[in-house]
């Protein structure tokens, strides 16, 4: 299991109201008052190609109600709550939602009518919000010895949706352990069993964020005789290196397409500003890599007791991945996801280059704070009301204390980057600069570029600039506003970061 997300932490999409039929809606019939002619609206039967095309472009939201996560979504069904959440997801720009289905809750090997009716209602309600559905089967389940029962259960769940264009794909299991021989042996049998009954339904598996591309590669090697239709990549890695990591995943399973089925950062161990920047980087990197479907985990935070007793429920961070707080208040990530799905520019305030964002809404982080803590202050400001100050700093062979951030746009070798900042000093000593630092996909430092130093003493606002070309192997870059061995004070404001 990944600390960022457990393999059980997949999401059961939107469960909904209305006891509607699980099959596609009946054709509309138009009657004429002057003729006996009846016109029937065309109903398109989905193909593997049409469903896979929908998968590759779907704007998917991972979802459980804030008060009923995982299997509780189904066992404590709340139509009104789910409907309200779907309305919120639709306004955000979601065009698809993920439904995670639990054999232990639905009934195995024969699902009960109670739960298949709820699933049918969910699909119907999602459609009412202009959303398709992606199914995830066999969550919180490890009965790998029972292939016959597994195939029977999957067939019972999927049969009503065989030709239903509202359902676009099936993930056979969330975050399967590619190193578990029993799980892989079961998967190699369940793929052809499901495919033979549902030949137009795209099939996939995901692995957890820790296994990443390596785990996907193990699955691809194991499934040579029964290949998947696409791979579902769960991204919980370092967003600064998102482009390199996504490309690595793509290369591992090529030419099979890849979507990002989960991506998120919790706001218990990180700020809401860092969460927003994380998702902004993932969306931008995915776009550069040609991946059109990115699914944030998850719509809302979870209330205490919302997650059933499990390994997941014992991880406090699992309750805080939402785009919205449990109160319904939107986090800073909401406009980022909205822009990412719409294909528009990221919010101008996302990088907080003028340090005007409210507390907790900045992606900037301290580096070597034990040598000097960066402080946001109104004591000095070149523009606006705020700047960032370093006072009485030290310096060691490890470096100088700084305030740092990574750009939202992806970094790759050969790009030219420019950084600038305005700095003011008061009895400053030591060395104060802006620096660009380069890292490879494994977080190895590759070098850097620094500006001229701010003159010591007391100075007015002075612009410092640093320029560099990302060296071979670059996967990320950080901007550092640093001041070392400084017995006085310096203030930083109005940062600019560009690339070409």
Model pTM score = 0.91
**Share above pLDDT 90 across residues of the chain, in percent, rounded to a whole number:** 91
pLDDT in the model for residue 36: 35
28 pLDDT exceeds 70?
no
Q: 276 and 137, same structural domain? A: yes
Please state, in angstroms and rounded to a whole number, the distance separating the CA atoms of residues 263 and 234.
6
Phi, psi (deg, nearest 5) at residue 460: -80, 180
Task: For residues 182 and 324, state if they share a domain.
Answer: yes
Flag whether 126 is in a domain.
yes
Residues 376-386: tens digit of each pLDDT? 999 999 999 99
In a domain, 20, yes or no: no
323-360: b or e for each residue (b if 16 or more CB lie within 10 Å)? bbebeeebbbbbbbbbbbbeeeebbebbbbbbbbbeee
Residue 18 lies in a domain: no
pLDDT in tens, 293-336: 999 999 999 999 999 999 999 999 999 999 999 999 999 999 99
Does residue 380 contact residue 489 with C-beta atoms inside 8 Å? no
Output the CA torsion sign for 47, 52, 57, 61. positive
Q: Which stretch of 8-17, 213-222, 278-287 has the lowest confidence by average pLDDT? A: 8-17
Domain identity same for 302 and 428: no
Report whether the peptide linkage leading into residue 298 is cis, meaning its omega lies within 30 degrees of zero.
yes
| Segment among 29-38, 406-415, 426-435, 465-474 with least mean pLDDT | 29-38
Report yes or no on 311 lying in a domain.
yes
Place of tokens 């699980």: 22
Distance CA 489, CA 427 (A): 7
What pLDDT sits at residue 202?
Answer: 98
**Which has the minimum average pLDDT: 127-131, 209-213, 479-483?**
209-213
CATH code at position 138? 3.20.20.80
> 39 pLDDT exceeds 80?
no
Domain boundary, last residue among 311, 342, 373 = 342
Query: Is the domain of 217 the same as that of 327?
Result: yes
Q: How confident is the model at residue 31 (pLDDT cuts 50, 70, 90)?
A: very low
pLDDT of residue 64: 98
Give the tens place of pLDDT for each residue, 357-395: 999 999 999 999 999 999 999 999 999 999 999 999 999
pLDDT of 43: 59
User: Quick one: 320 and 396 in the same domain?
Assistant: no
Inter-residue contact 103 to 40 (CB < 8 Å): no
* 230 domain residue, yes or no: yes
**Phi and psi based region of residue 118 (left: phi greater than 0; alpha: psi -120 to 50; beta: remaining):** alpha
């Amino acid at each position: 299991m990944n600390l960022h997300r457990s393999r059980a932490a997949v999401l059961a999409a939107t469960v909904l109201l209305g006891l509607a039929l699980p099959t596609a809606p009946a054709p509309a019939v138009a009657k004429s008052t002057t003729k006996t002619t009846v016109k029937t609206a065309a109903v398109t039967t989905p193909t593997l190609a049409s469903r896979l095309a929908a998968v590759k472009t779907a704007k998917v939201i991972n979802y459980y109600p804030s008060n009923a996560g995982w299997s509780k979504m189904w066992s404590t069904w709340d139509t009104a709550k789910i409907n309200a959440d779907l309305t919120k997801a639709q306004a955000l720009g979601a065009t698809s939602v993920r439904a995670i289905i639990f054999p232990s809750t639905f009934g195995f090997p024969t699902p009960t009518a109670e739960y298949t009716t709820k699933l049918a209602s969910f699909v119907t309600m999602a459609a009412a919000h202009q959303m398709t559905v992606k199914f995830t089967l066999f969550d919180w389940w490890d009965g790998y010895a029972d292939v016959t029962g597994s195939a029977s259960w999957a067939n019972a769940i999927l049969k009503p949706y065989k030709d239903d264009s509202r359902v676009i794909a099936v993930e056979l299991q969330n975050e399967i352990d590619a190193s578990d021989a029993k799980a892989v042996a079961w998967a190699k049998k369940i793929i052809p069993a499901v495919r033979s009954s549902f030949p137009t339904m795209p099939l996939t598996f995901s692995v957890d964020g820790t296994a990443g591309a390596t785990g996907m590669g193990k699955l691809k090697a194991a499934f040579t005789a029964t290949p998947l239709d696409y791979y579902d990549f769960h991204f919980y890695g370092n967003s600064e290196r998102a482009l390199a990591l996504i490309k690595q995943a793509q290369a591992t399973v090529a030419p099979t397409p890849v979507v990002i089925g989960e991506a998120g950062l919790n706001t218990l161990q990180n700020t809401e500003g860092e969460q927003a920047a994380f998702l902004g980087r993932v969306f931008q990197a995915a776009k550069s890599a040609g991946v059109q479907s990115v699914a944030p985990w998850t719509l809302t935070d979870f209330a205490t007791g919302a997650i059933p007793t499990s390994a997941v429920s014992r991880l406090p961070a699992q309750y805080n991945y939402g785009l919205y707080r449990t109160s319904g208040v939107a986090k800073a990530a909401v406009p980022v996801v909205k822009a990412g799905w719409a294909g528009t520019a990221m919010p101008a305030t996302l990088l907080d280059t003028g340090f005007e964002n409210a507390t907790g809404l900045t992606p900037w982080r301290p580096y070597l704070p034990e040598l000097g803590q960066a402080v946001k202050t109104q004591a000095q400001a070149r523009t606006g009301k705020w700047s960032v100050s370093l006072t009485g700093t030290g310096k060691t062979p490890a470096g100088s204390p700084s305030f740092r951030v990574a750009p939202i746009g992806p970094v790759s070798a050969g790009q030219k980057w420019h950084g600038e900042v305005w700095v003011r000093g008061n009895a400053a000593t030591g060395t104060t600069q802006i620096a660009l630092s380069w890292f490879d996909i494994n977080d190895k430092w590759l070098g850097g570029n620094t500006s001229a130093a701010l003159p010591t003493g007391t100075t007015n606002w002075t612009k410092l600039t640093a320029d560099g070309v990302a060296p071979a192997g670059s996967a990320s870059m950080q901007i550092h506003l640093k001041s070392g061995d400084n017995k006085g004070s310096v203030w930083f404001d109005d940062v600019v970061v560009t690339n070409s």
